[in-house]
Structure 1
Amino acid sequence: MPPSTSLQPPRLNNSALPDLLIVKRIAKIPISQAYRMSTCSDVESPLPGYGTTANPPGSTIPPNTVYSQPHFTSGDFAEENPRPVLKPGLYVPTLTFFKKDTEVLDEETIADHAVRMAKAGAAGLLTQGTNGEAAHLLHLERTVVTKTTRDALDRAGYVHIPVIVGCGAQSTRETIELCREAQSSGGDYAIILPPSYYKGMYTTESIKRFYTDVANASPIPILIYNYPSVTAGVDLDSDTIIELAKHTKIVGCKLTCGNTGKLNRIAAATKCQTHTDRGSGFMCMGGSADFTLQTLVGRGSGVVAGLANLTPRICNKLIELYTTGKVDEAQTLQAAVARGDQAATKTGIVGTKSALQTFYGYGGYARRPLPRPTEQEVTNYSSAFEEIVGMEKLV
């Protein structure tokens, strides 16, 4: 199949965007029905060829040195495309929930959890991330999770909240396919880990080419996801991310590496969006609740916090305290949030789901081969999260 010559979605009249957004989503094929009919069968998804038509000859990155982002506007929806805009604040990488006995997707709980996060003040949700057990999901299941999340938000009146979808894969081709599937299931943006399986053979230029090829072919804007712990130690440096940020369809980054110096450099170079400065619109986000305050002090855009699955109001309160000038209170709360996030980091998805089950009556288990906690572990997890959940219930 020849390379596609039309990689960009059509431009639409801005006045019709909210209605068009809803109509587009209602008209989608019943993905969840297809999933229930065949949860284990392979589904063909032909991938059109991808090219680098957005690049000038001999260039790795399209020549946009202003870091201006096409998704960015002062309203709730992008001016060129019917998608909610990314705004500074708290983003929740949502868990994926399964039926306890069968490990089949629990769509009702996925939907309810998404709405709970929105009600707590989340600026956006992220599906198919590390917390979302993307590594355990079939392609069709990924689309079900994203569509279920998007539809639940829309029904509850949160059409303005963006859904970012994890689309990282080991090949450029599959990554682009995941981006297209993300769009078709209601995703507004894709977030992408660097490839890592052949780590020893990758160069900085090949990683740049990977992100450039994906950005050129993806029907939705992308964010860079840097998390060395899950990519065999592949750790993108600030220079690489700053250069890639010049691409008009690379609109942000999530730094779960915890390197605040890197975050500071990227935030400054890209003039990223903050609570007090619209900047270029680029989103430079910390990837963990335990350095929320450090991210904001370093002029980052916000955080993507796994702990927020359990305590979204407290995570949001921390941002609110800092952005309203209550720095001393924010520092005190950050210490408690860091203790809670340490528990989440140590116990992982298993501990977070166990705590959700204990304190909120839902959560269930992670998919095998992740273990199910013993009775003693359930007690230990409850104790580890007791402080931060107690604070959550007082907000």
Structure 2
Amino acid sequence: MPITPPSGLVHPLQPIAALPRGVYVPMPAFFHPSSPTSPPDDTLDIPATQRHTARLLAAGVAGLVVHGSNGEAVHLSRRERRAAIEAVADTVRHDADYSHAPFPIIAGCSAQSVRETIELCREARDAGATHALVLPPGYYRGLMDRDGFVGFFREVAERSPLPLVIYNYPAAANGVDLNSDEILALAACPRIVGVKLTCGNTGKLARVVDGAPRVRGGRDDFLVAGGSADFILQGLVVGAHGTISGFANLAPRACVRIGELFEAGRLEEAQELQREVAKADWLAIRYGFVGVKAAMPMFHGPGEASCAVPRLPFKRLDEAGEAVTEIREGMASVLEIEKGLVAKAVGGK
């Protein structure tokens, strides 16, 4: 049965490929560091962005996210947002496998109004993104009811040139936490194709996994992903399609491996690896994107030291400080696991 375009639609209605299962990585924003004798630089480091993109592609991730909360989107200008997406898209064009469908590049396009959100979606599309990741508009939370939040996503989906992934992250949306009924109501929209559940509610995840095919005419094409690496396996057990995890910037192969072990029926090995990843991810959760950045040179070599720089008002964690010591010690086990998986990949299976 053909889909009737809703009124106000400004994009050509075309078939939308389902997002593939697997690990999606919300990339950090990389900035040039300042020297002790120079004023702050913190301009975008495009070479570092492209090196990291290539690294993640080689690790076998399913897709990339640019300008999520891990990527300091709120610290970037519109011009910088476009430049970062273009850098990632350029690397993907050279390195990714396009044999089945375009490699997913999901761009954070969150704003408080429908109009600006759509503008961000258009700019992301023009820069090379394939999908848009959108938060509920929480600034005026007290003046909006639940129907208002659902209506926001429907309005954006009707007019956006990119299909949407819902970003359910209460901490970044003034406490707005979409429930499973609301997410399923949005899953019925053909141009809303997935959800990232950073709320960490695996019961909600299970309900959405169960209900989405029913509201989408029997198709299992609505990506349901957890929002951190500490419950990849728990999500897979109840039917999740993968994860969108900031920790995967550090140990992408370990995160991918959890899914491989689960699919192969090697549950005890998957459980053991998940426990190690969860312990390390707790430090990434506690210290946030600044902690993930601090760990970049630990996992990817001293040449990535510049990747540890956040944008003011945030400051780089002190290399000799307690936080970095705790991160180094707490992530040591997963670092060794990741090194072993890299060595195995390089040396051949």
Relative to structure 1, the CA distance from residue 206 to residue 156 in structure 2 (aligned partners, 3 Å threshold; closer, same or farther) is same
| Residues 7-58 of structure 1 deviation map (CA, whole Å, 9 limit, x = unaligned) | 22375xxxxxxxxxxxxxxxxxxxxxxxxxxxxxxxxxxxxxxxxxxxxxxx
Find the counterpart in structure 2 of residue 347 from structure 1: 287
1:179 to 115, 121, 128: 121
Shift of 1:390: 1.3
Amino acid of the residue matched to residue 133 of structure 1?
A: E
Quick check: 1:358 aligned with 2:303? no
Q: Is the CA contact (8 Å cut-off) linking 1:293 and 1:319 kept in structure 2?
A: yes
Find the counterpart in structure 1 of residue 247 from structure 2: 307
Determine the C-alpha separation between the residues in 2 that align with 1:386 and 1:305. Answer: 19
1:195 to 137, 150, 156: 137
Higher helix content, 1 or 2: 2
| Aligned pairs for 1:96-111 within 5 A | 96-101=29-34, 102-111=41-50
Determine the C-alpha separation between the residues in 2 that align with 1:6 and 1:306. Answer: 34
| Residues 110-144 of structure 1 deviation map (CA, whole Å, 9 limit, x = unaligned) | 01101110110100000000111111111111111
Gaps of at least 5 residues in structure 2 are 1-5, 35-40, 342-349
Find the counterpart in structure 1 of residue 193 from structure 2: 251
Q: Is the CA contact (8 Å cut-off) linking 1:118 and 1:158 kept in structure 2?
A: no
Q: Is the CA contact (8 Å cut-off) linking 2:29 and 2:49 kept in structure 1?
A: yes
Query: Which moved further from structure 2: 384-393 or 318-327?
Result: 384-393
Find the counterpart in structure 1 of residue 79 from structure 2: 140
Find the counterpart in structure 2 of residue 113 from structure 1: 52
Find the counterpart in structure 1 of residue 106 from structure 2: 164
Any idea what SS the aligned residue of 1:394 has? helix
Shift of 1:245: 0.7
Determine the C-alpha separation between the residues in 2 that align with 1:157 and 1:345. Answer: 29
Relative to structure 1, the CA distance from residue 359 to residue 285 in structure 2 (aligned partners, 3 Å threshold; closer, same or farther) is closer
Find the counterpart in structure 2 of residue 55 from structure 1: none
Amino acid of the residue matched to residue 92 of structure 2?
A: L
Amino acid of the residue matched to residue 304 of structure 1?
A: I
Q: Is the CA contact (8 Å cut-off) linking 1:193 and 1:224 kept in structure 2?
A: yes
| Aligned pairs for 1:218-297 within 5 A | 218-271=160-213, 279-297=219-237
Amino acid of the residue matched to residue 71 of structure 1?
A: I
Shift of 1:379: 2.8
Q: Is the CA contact (8 Å cut-off) linking 1:307 and 1:341 kept in structure 2?
A: yes
| Aligned pairs for 1:44-83 within 5 A | 70-72=15-17
Shift of 1:385: 1.6
Q: Is the CA contact (8 Å cut-off) linking 1:99 and 1:364 kept in structure 2?
A: no
Quick check: 1:392 aligned with 2:334? no
| Residues 63-102 of structure 1 deviation map (CA, whole Å, 9 limit, x = unaligned) | xxxxxxx423xxxxxxxxxxxx510111111111000021
Identity level (%): 42
Shift of 1:247: 0.6
Matched residues, number: 318
Determine the C-alpha separation between the residues in 1 that align with 2:299 and 2:69. Answer: 22
Determine the C-alpha separation between the residues in 2 that align with 1:281 and 1:189. Answer: 14
Q: Is the CA contact (8 Å cut-off) linking 2:195 and 2:225 kept in structure 1?
A: yes
Relative to structure 1, the CA distance from residue 247 to residue 192 in structure 2 (aligned partners, 3 Å threshold; closer, same or farther) is same
Amino acid of the residue matched to residue 99 of structure 1?
A: H
Any idea what SS the aligned residue of 1:216 has? helix
Any idea what SS the aligned residue of 1:219 has? coil
Gaps of at least 5 residues in structure 1 are 12-69, 73-84, 273-277
Find the counterpart in structure 2 of residue 372 from structure 1: 316
| Aligned pairs for 1:316-335 within 5 A | 316-335=256-275
Amino acid of the residue matched to residue 299 of structure 1?
A: G
Determine the C-alpha separation between the residues in 1 that align with 2:96 and 2:176. Answer: 39
Determine the C-alpha separation between the residues in 2 that align with 1:208 and 1:325. Answer: 38
Determine the C-alpha separation between the residues in 1 that align with 2:241 and 2:96. Answer: 25
Quick check: 1:155 aligned with 2:109? no
Shift of 1:389: 1.0
TM-score normalised to structure 1 length: 0.78
Q: Is the CA contact (8 Å cut-off) linking 2:251 and 2:299 kept in structure 1?
A: no
Find the counterpart in structure 1 of residue 148 from structure 2: 206
Determine the C-alpha separation between the residues in 2 that align with 1:4 and 1:110. Answer: 39
Amino acid of the residue matched to residue 100 of structure 1?
A: P
Give the RMSD, CA atoms, in angstroms.
1.7
Amino acid of the residue matched to residue 265 of structure 1?
A: R
Amino acid of the residue matched to residue 356 of structure 1?
A: M
Shift of 1:5: 5.2
Amino acid of the residue matched to residue 336 of structure 2?
A: G
Q: Is the CA contact (8 Å cut-off) linking 1:150 and 1:187 kept in structure 2?
A: yes
Amino acid of the residue matched to residue 190 of structure 2?
A: T
| Residues 174-230 of structure 1 deviation map (CA, whole Å, 9 limit, x = unaligned) | 111101011000000001000111111110111111101100110010011100111
Any idea what SS the aligned residue of 1:271 has? helix
Amino acid of the residue matched to residue 247 of structure 1?
A: C
Amino acid of the residue matched to residue 292 of structure 2?
A: T
Shift of 1:380: 2.9
Q: Is the CA contact (8 Å cut-off) linking 2:23 and 2:243 kept in structure 1?
A: yes
Any idea what SS the aligned residue of 1:125 has? strand
Which runs of at least 4 in structure 1 moved beyond 3 Å after TM superposition?
Answer: 3-6, 157-160
TM-score normalised to structure 2 length: 0.88
